[in-house]
Chains A and B, each alone.
Chain A
Amino acid sequence: MDERSDPLHGDVLAGVEFADNPEPRCAVALVLDTSGSMHGRAIAELNAGLQSLAAALKADTLASLRVEIGVLTFGGSVRVLDPAGGVEAPADPADAFVTVDRFVAPALSADGETPMGEAVGRALALIRARKERYRTNGIDYFRPWLLLVTDGRPTDRGWEAAADEARAEEGRRGVSLYAVGVEGADMRTLARFCGEDRPPLKLAGLAFNELFTWLSKSLSAVSQSRPGDQTPLPPVGWAVADTSH
């Protein structure tokens, strides 16, 4: 038999079939301050930033199948939004995230106090429920992200416990928590929610668009990383030095 043309080998390899596995997921919880002080330009810029985030991630084919977004707001009360754009909150906490291809950026309005502690606690619980869902369904996943944005300080009782819980969860690598303070934010209080390696950053002006562009690029990179990758994140172009303390 002429080995160089060897039809048998080629045919055999053409018969190799592939497993059909779900894409690995990277959940990100957006925990957003919609208290009264965000009213006006701040909330408008935040909404525009969310639109940019959705557009950028949808344009990335792989990220659109791997990144999952959940949205919680704290303004007066804590609300878990339907990330697919519906008006009802998801009945099952594990349904609070959708892949980017189904994500609809919300149009937020601002009013009320700042129950930030409760919001962070709820977000951590949603992330845990989502991880459990992944495990039940045999879906690989990356370390989830939590992006906390505020222009104030928590007004709810017991926020300290939620801050401790967030810091502990970051410490055991259960979540990557990024906290962003908008002008007027109490950065020292915000730091209590953060791991030592990832202190809160202060947003330059109302550069929400830059913040969410950075977030989309970071999530694209993380969601396509492979074992051993250190996944360098794009440079932060939206923060300023915090001189408040």
Chain B
Amino acid sequence: MSKLSIAVTKHDHIQGNPDAACSLVEYGDYECPACGEVQTIIKRLQAHFGSQMSFVFRNFPLREIHPWAQPAAEVAEFAGSRGRFWEMHDLLFENQESLDDGLFEALILKLDLSGSDLKRARSSDMTKKRIDADFAGGIRSGVNGTPSFFLNGERYDGPTDQESLAALMEQVLISDGD
């Protein structure tokens, strides 16, 4: 069974209580339809488990089959450098069928990332390095497609519907005596 080789740290994009008993890490791609679909499920899990879970998103753009995945990841990371990662992340997934420069410009404007433009967002070495590091760490952890999930560091190979994920998380919480 593959394990998460890069531990979750404060440098991750993390939602929820970092010390929660359930840590869910997703490796995802903004152009991947299955990653778009799973967004709703994650939000429902977060609503259900509250402070018992944390959620981390890491980049795994499949560049060869999804030409807009890398640019979208760059835009999300750029927004992240301005403290607006999750808003951009959600907007990109909500609009994943129309990813292009026009959309990115509109979203940068919408989030009012003042003084920035798309060119600047996409030319940042820091964001590119972060995406490459996410990807390389994902490969080393056995990420095998998108979305890939790790629950408390173990790769989850089961179905990604809400019931299956929730059942597994309940189990983890019970075995933790939480």
Same complex for A and B? Answer no
**Chain B residues at the A interface, C-beta cutoff of 8 Å:** none
